[in-house]
Amino acid sequence: MSKFFVDKSQITDNSAKILGSDVGHIARVLRMETGDKLLLCDGEGYDYEAKIKSISKEEIEAAILRSYPCQNEPETEVTLFQGLPKQGKMEWIIEKCTEMGVTTIVPVQMMRSVVKLSADQAAKKVERWQKTAREAAKQCGRGRIPKVCMPVTIPELTCSDLPEFLLLPYEAERATAVREALVGQKKKTAGIFIGPEGGFDPEEAELLQSAGARAVTLGPRILRTETAGLCALSVLLYEWNEMQC
């Protein structure tokens, strides 16, 4: 059954409206008609089985048959705190981590980040990154669209509310393997900090550890910034039994 995201405000107890580009895709590409069934998702964890009632150029109205929590979401809500990478890499990171099950992505302006964004540039980037997350969530059958936040700095992060469990893959750490830090530690919320291409400045790593982050190694091989977050996220979800069907 084809699945489409709709804003929660477009869903009532017994009906839903589909707007935007999905209208043309449903009507002209998929050639769906009145009476056909489809699956809608509110992007916040609920799926809705629905039947098309009417189709126009601007909107599709569907009758809600039943609703239920999406079964494709991990119990643990994971936030990726990603050091701003060089041009073009952030889209790939967002796409792949969305597929894997991340809940929130926070771009972080770090000392060794090559990219420096003004407020206007950041707003435009976040808007595009949010679209990337939406498309990836749609493609892989997620029940939630990950939220992409405005960029922040590490001092700003350490002064804010952080997830219960914090993981810090750090190139200077050699003793604690990532699995060792994860065993028996499953929490409702978790955060993963990933440095940019140049890695963390020691001052940043110290700040994060002071805030409760557990420094770990991801192994003897050097991982790129766009690989490290996906690797750490995969290990965390696997170790916390979040990859079972």
Amino acid 209: pLDDT: 96
Q: Does residue 47 lie within any of the structural domains?
A: yes
Distance of CA 110 to the CA centre of its chain: 20
Residues 111 and 214 in one domain: yes
Q: Does residue 245 lie within any of the structural domains?
A: no
| pLDDT per residue as tens, the chain (245 positions) | 788 999 889 998 899 999 988 999 999 999 999 999 999 999 888 999 999 999 998 999 999 999 999 888 999 999 999 999 998 899 999 999 999 999 999 999 999 999 899 999 999 999 999 999 999 998 888 999 999 999 999 999 988 899 999 999 999 999 999 999 999 999 999 999 999 999 999 999 999 999 999 999 999 998 999 999 999 999 999 999 999 87
Taking the C-alpha atoms of residue 153 and residue 99, their distance in angstroms, rounded to an integer, is 26
Residue 208 belongs to domain with CATH number: 3.40.1280.10
Question: Is residue 115 within 8 Å of 86, Cβ to Cβ?
Answer: yes
Give just the sign of the alpha carbon dihedral 5, 11, 17, 19. negative
Greatest alpha-carbon span in the chain: 62
Residues 91 and 211 in one domain: yes
Provide the residue range defining the domain that includes 110: 77-239
At residue 180, φ and ψ (nearest 5 deg) are: -60, -40
Amino acid 198: pLDDT: 92
Residue 29 belongs to domain with CATH number: 2.40.240.20
How many folded domains does the chain comprise? 2
Structure tokens at 58: 């601007």
CA 51 vs CA 26, 41, 55: distances in Å:
12, 14, 11
Taking the C-alpha atoms of residue 123 and residue 112, their distance in angstroms, rounded to an integer, is 21
β-strand pairing of 15-19 with 46-55: unpaired
Question: Is residue 236 within 8 Å of 182, Cβ to Cβ?
Answer: yes
Taking the C-alpha atoms of residue 110 and residue 105, their distance in angstroms, rounded to an integer, is 15
Residues 93 and 149 in one domain: yes
Rounded to the nearest 10 degrees, the angle between the axes of helix 225-239 and helix 89-100 is 10
Amino acid 149: pLDDT: 97
Q: Which amino acid is at 87?
A: Q
Residues 65 and 92 in one domain: no
Taking the C-alpha atoms of residue 228 and residue 173, their distance in angstroms, rounded to an integer, is 14
Structure tokens at 191: 């955060």
Structure tokens at 3: 């699945």
Question: Is residue 126 within 8 Å of 149, Cβ to Cβ?
Answer: yes
Amino acid 215: pLDDT: 97
Question: Is residue 204 within 8 Å of 196, Cβ to Cβ?
Answer: no
CA dihedral 244, 6, 123, 224 (to 10 degrees): 20
Residues 182 and 85 in one domain: yes
Question: Is residue 215 within 8 Å of 209, Cβ to Cβ?
Answer: yes
